[in-house]
A and B are shown apart, each in its own frame.
Chain A
Amino acid sequence: MNQQNLSQWFRSPVILLLLLLAGGFTLMAPAMANDALLLAQRVYDRPNGRDLTTLGRMVLTEKGRAPRIREIVTYRLDKSGGETANLIRFLDPEDIAGTGLLSIDKADGSTDQWLYLPALDRVRRISSDRKGGRFVGSDLYFEDLQERKPSKDRHRLLGKQTENGILCDVLESVPLDADDSAYKKRISWIDPSTAILQRMDYFEKDTSTPGKRWLLRGKKRNQGYWTLTDSRMIDLSSGHETRMVVDVALYDQKLPVKLFTSQTLADESLESEYRP
């Protein structure tokens, strides 16, 4: 094929259409991926205050059995340099009351964790790699309690679907490093106007059938921030579910950095006055 022929080919409307279509696809695919990442980032960056204190309950229910309730107070502080500190204290039932968990999520993505055991009166450093371990016997894994950075996943927009009466963007997120997550895939239903998750399906064993489902049941605006006050994590195979209720949420209380130290972790009295 000589240059003239080539020129004629390029002038052909059919070929032009094909080229533009192909170009459209190749250009649109990164654009879609970028939109997906932006959406994931919007969810991650949704305003939730410099610090947050919540008093809430986890209700573990199984058909035909009495529910088991864990009462929990949590504190979160966004520190300088991209570091986030979290403190969780169990208030009930008695056999785990006083147990505390301190997590420092660092800017580089690593997490330092310490567990306080009241019976031993000892702070123990623990590994944060226990991603697939059940949190106090609930349907939540330790990984579900951590804020996952969008950069850890490959995102794809699947389209739009109605969830909770809202037309949501549906986002698929697959871990870039399979060892970095207990899940093979997640699909999220996101309210595009608020960037609030309405539903998330977790694919643990394979990528075609979700094993767990998280559903938002209620939200409330406190001090200008949206708080997810009622949600459920459902084990789809057994029907067992864990309901998470936030009874009180306090934002921007100027929580001191000292609240997120091993000293406070080991002394409930130092922390209790910051409770709602």
Chain B
Amino acid sequence: MKQLLLISSLSLVILPVYAADALPPLRAVAQNTADDLPPPRTTTRKPRPASSEAAPAETAPQASAVGDLPPPTTRSRKPRARGFQPTLKYGVDDLLLEAGGLPDASEADTYSTLRISPYVLWQPSRNWEFRAGARLDGMTQDGGRADHREMLGDYSDTYARYRSGDTRLTLGAQTIIWGRADEIPLADRVSRVDLTRFVLDDLPDRRRAQLAARWEQTFGSYKLDAVWLPLFRGAQLPDVASVWSPINRSTGEVLGIAPSPSLAALTSGARIEEDEHGSGGGALRLTKTGDPFDYGITLARTRQSLPYYRVDVPNTTLTAVHPFNTFVGADLELVSGGLTWRMEAGYTDNVPVTLATTAMDSTQSLDWIGAVEFFPGGKDIRVNLQLVAHALQTNRSILELKEYYGANGEVETSFGRGRWKAGMRFATGFNVHDVYLSPKLSYVGWEPHELYVAAHYFNGEARTLGGFHQDHSLITLGLRTQF
């Protein structure tokens, strides 16, 4: 027995010796840095006085950090959520200052932009919220044969919102972007497009608020979203003198339509009109979020804000029209194998097209987008790759592309401890030559400001976006912020 005890104690002695060899070296205390933490902000979360029934907190600073801790705040003694508090917020949603060079354009050598959108948001009670916003867009195009300056004032999101339980009602000017895919979501049927800077900006900045009545109702993991557009407004178009206009008077081309001498003769001197009267229609979207995947169904009878230019040869007029069309679409989103998959498919009727005679006709279209998003190696690079397919269902000879197959997406990363961002947006056609490349390098270490240099390269054949703007490749230097 004595022997057994001896052996047991030997084992116990030996084991710690073995483990101690694996211990890392002791840490040098000097690794702790000086405390430089400012006190917490109290702007929107000003604490109420500590109540007498509040439980006291017992603080136990670590041995090496006694002097470094921030002073205890009174609010840390109150074990209770703040509850609803009326809020009044105001600021500038977006400020963009950008200077750009157009090395290939004959219309201008430079293109610069100023955009500012202030807002005020008031939430007086749990149920009500009011927002008022405005925006000012300025552009200047200099150094060529089409110098142009423009300043445009408009409202941004300005609405009254009511919430109760699972119901949310919003009336007023709103920006509503439906869909799952990036860049060109098919379910995006109730937003108003902003074409003043073509595709230079990301999707949210290529949309504007428009008057809408919106009812959002949640049923567990389902959400029904109903939108009615009582007063239609077409896409915000750049002035026809702008390099980003969908009508190029100097070449006589119209975006998306095959060029021809007759069309060029008409376009160069045509009067351009807009047909915007009446309602924009309405749409329903039902979505489900949760296992095993997220999905949505969209049914819309709306007018699209992007214009179709109806040619009126006798009156030498191009009229931007927005015919009603019906859209039925479905979309889903799931994660599998570390990849996020997104898909949208849709059918649209009454899509306007141009016959060889330049007369307007209509047909149906089938569209599909498949997207995959992933982070190679689980690190900081994000890749979003989207395949797109668009097919017009007509046997007639038309001036638009009947089919378009392509890819688009974005690759982005951050480096320098998140102070720098680099990215590349891209789009390319498979069945037609159509290229858009937009590399961008941003410094975001001066928060919340972003300083960036970017390029936008366009190339392609007739009837494509890249082809229409192939002389408008742009290099920009910009500052973007909000406060």
Stretch of A4-12, A40-48, A211-219 on the interface side: A211-219
Instruction: Tell me the complex Cα distance, A79–B11, Å.
Output: 45
A30 close to B (CB within 8 Å):
no
Partner of A93, one of B15, B33, B448: B448
> A151 within 8 Å of B by Cβ?
no
Contacts of A125 in B (CB 8 A): 289, 293-294, 333-335, 340
A55 touches B45 (CB 8 A): yes
A215 to B76: give the CA distance in the assembly, Å: 22
B373 CB contacts on chain A under 8 angstroms: 126-127
CA distance in complex: A269, B161 (Å): 11
Contacts A13-B3, A126-B340, A161-B23 hold; do A28 and B418 have CB atoms under 8 A apart?
no
* B151, CB-defined interface residue at 8 Å: no
The answer to whether A61 and B36 touch across the interface, beta carbons within 8 angstroms, is yes
**Please, how many angstroms separate the alpha-carbon atoms of A59 and B447 in the complex?**
13
Residues of A within 8 A of B137 (CB): none
Given A218-B69, A222-B79, also A92-B41 (CB < 8 A): yes
Q: Inside 8 A of A149's CB, which chain B residues have their CB?
A: none
Contact of B58 among A92, A216, A220 (CB under 8 A): A220
User: Which of chain B's residues 249-272 have a Cβ closer than 8 Å to chain A?
Assistant: none
Which residues of chain B are within 8 angstroms of A96 by Cβ–Cβ distance? 448
Whether A103 sits at the interface, judged by CB under 8 Å, is no
**Contact indicator A218/B59 (Cβ below 8 Å):** yes
Give the contacts of A158-203 with B (CB-CB under 8 A).
158-159, 161-166, 170, 172, 182, 187, 198-199, 201
Q: Which of A67, A245, A267 contacts B168 (CB 8 A)?
A: A267
B22 near A218 with CB under 8 A, answer no
Q: How far is the CA of A218 from the CA of B330 in the complex (A)?
A: 51
Assembly CA distance A151 to B55 (angstroms): 36
The reply to whether B378 and A133 form a contact with Cβ atoms under 8 Å apart is yes
From residue 218 to 273 of chain A, which have CB atoms closer than 8 A to chain B? 218-223, 229-230, 232, 234, 238, 240-241, 243, 245, 247-251, 253, 261-263, 267, 269-270, 272-273
Q: How far is the CA of A275 from the CA of B82 in the complex (A)?
A: 6
**Interface assignment of A71: CB less than 8 Å from any CB of chain B:** yes
CB pair A59–B291 under 8 Å, yes or no, is: no
Q: In the complex, which residues of chain A have a beta carbon less than 8 angstroms from the beta carbon of B3?
A: 13, 16-17
Interchain CB contact under 8 A, B163 and A223: no
Stretch at the interface among B60-68, B109-117, B231-239, B400-408: B60-68
The residue in chain B whose Cβ has the minimal distance to the Cβ of A157 is B19
A50 within 8 A of B: no
Stretch touching chain A among B24-32, B348-356, B385-393: B24-32
Q: Across the interface, which residues of A come within 8 angstroms of B204, CB to CB?
A: 119-120
Given A94-B91, A127-B338, residue A217 in contact with residue B68 (CB < 8 A) = yes
Taken together as a complex, chains A and B put the C-alpha atoms of A55 and B31 apart, in Å, by 27
A121 within 8 A of B: yes
**A45-71 with Cβ < 8 A to chain B:** 53, 55, 57, 59-62, 65, 67-69, 71
Provided the pairs A182-B378, A263-B223 are in contact, do residues A273 and B419 lie with their beta carbons within 8 angstroms? no
A127 contacts B81, C-beta separation under 8 Å: no
Given contacts A158-B19, A199-B27, A245-B70, 19 further A-B contacts (CB under 8 A): A59-B36, A65-B445, A68-B447, A91-B44, A93-B448, A94-B482, A95-B449, A126-B335, A133-B380, A157-B19, A162-B26, A170-B23, A221-B57, A229-B69, A230-B68, A270-B163, A272-B84, A272-B87, A274-B81
**14 A–B pairs (Cβ distance < 8 Å), ordered by A:** A32-B15, A68-B445, A94-B91, A120-B177, A120-B204, A122-B177, A125-B340, A129-B375, A130-B378, A137-B419, A217-B69, A220-B58, A269-B163, A273-B83
